[in-house]
């Protein structure tokens, strides 16, 4: 019986640097261009609802802007989002801010963290914290 071919490789690996990433100590960086969390720039958004129509999962709902009864803004539910970036692609005013941030782990008692409101830079327009679903 011939010797198993892998034996040499296994022996060699004993003296090599570990392949394992020092993960919990160091964050693993995704490759550049990773499709991470995306937010809406509330000031840029014109409330056209195109992203909500095109979303394959229906993760985006349009909410009425308080004070301005005609304008709407999108709210993303990361519990439904599949990070396909279709919304980023179709947005006519490029109101989506993309990042390489990985979607965070969410505990059962913090389920409201799934729903993310747009970022409003001009605080005057910032909608008052209203009912969370």
Partner 1 sequence: MSKELKVIEIPVGPQHPALHEPIQLKIWVDGEEVVDVKVVAGFNHRGVEWLAERKTWFQNVFMCSRVCGICNTVHGTTCSQCFEDLGNIEVPPRAKYLRVLVNELERIHSHMIILAIMAEAIGFDSLFMLMMRDRERVMYLKELVTGNRVLADYVTIGGVRRDVSKETCDKILKYIDFIEERMKFYKKIWGEDPIVRKRLVDTGRATASQALSHCFVGPMLRGSGVKSDVRRDYPYAAYDEVPFNVITYKEGDSWARMMVRVDEIFESINMIRYVIEHLPGGPILPKVVPKKLPAGEGFSKSEAPRGELVYHAISKGGMKPYRLKIRTPSFTNIHNGAFLIKGAHVADVPAIFTSFDPCISCTERVKIIDVKTGKTRIIPFNKLSKLKKL
Partner 2 sequence: MSILRLLRWGVTRSPWLLHFNTGGCNGCDIEVLAAITPLYDPERLGVKLTPSPRHADILIVTGVVTKKVAERLKRIYDQIPEPKVVVAVGTCAISGGVFRGSYSHVHGVDKVIPVDVYVPGCTPRPDMIIKGIVEAVRILDEKARKIEQETPVR
Q: CA 27, 32, 36 angle in degrees (round to 5)?
A: 70
Note whether 4 binds partner 1 by CB under 8 A.
Answer: yes
- Could you give the CA distance from residue 42 to residue 57 in angstroms, rounded to a whole number? 22
**What does 1 interact with, of partner 2, partner 1, none (CB < 5 to 8 A by kind)?**
partner 1
Q: How many CB atoms lie within 10 A of CB 105?
A: 7
53-112 residues near partner 2, rule: CB under 8 A: 56-58, 77-84, 102-108, 111
Do 53 and 74 meet the contact criterion of CB atoms below 8 Å apart?
no
Of 85, 115, 126, 127, which lies in the binding site for partner 1, with binding defined by CB under 8 A? 85
Of 46, 82, 93, 113, which lies in the binding site for partner 1, with binding defined by CB under 8 A? 82
Which residues does 88 contact at the CB level (< 8 Å), separation at least 6? 38, 96, 98
Closest to partner 1 by CB, 49 or 125: 49
Residues near partner 1 (CB under 8 A) are: 1-2, 4-6, 9-10, 13, 19, 30-35, 54-56, 82-86, 89
Which residues are near partner 2 by CB under 8 A? 19-21, 23-24, 27-28, 30, 56-58, 77-84, 102-108, 111, 114
């Amino acid at each position: 019986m011939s010797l198993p071919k892998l034996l040499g490789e296994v022996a060699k690996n004993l003296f090599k640097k570990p392949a394992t990433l020092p993960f919990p100590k160091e964050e693993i960086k995704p490759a550049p261009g990773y499709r991470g969390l995306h937010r809406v720039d509330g000031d840029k958004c014109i409330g056209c609802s195109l992203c909500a129509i095109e979303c394959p999962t229906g993760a985006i709902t349009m909410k009425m802007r308080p004070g301005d009864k005609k304008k709407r803004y999108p709210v993303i539910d990361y519990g439904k989002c599949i990070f396909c970036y279709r919304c980023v692609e179709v947005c006519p005013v490029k109101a989506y801010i993309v990042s390489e941030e990985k979607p965070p782990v969410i505990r059962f008692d913090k389920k409201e963290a799934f729903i993310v409101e747009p970022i409003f830079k001009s605080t005057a327009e910032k909608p008052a914290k209203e009912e969370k679903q």
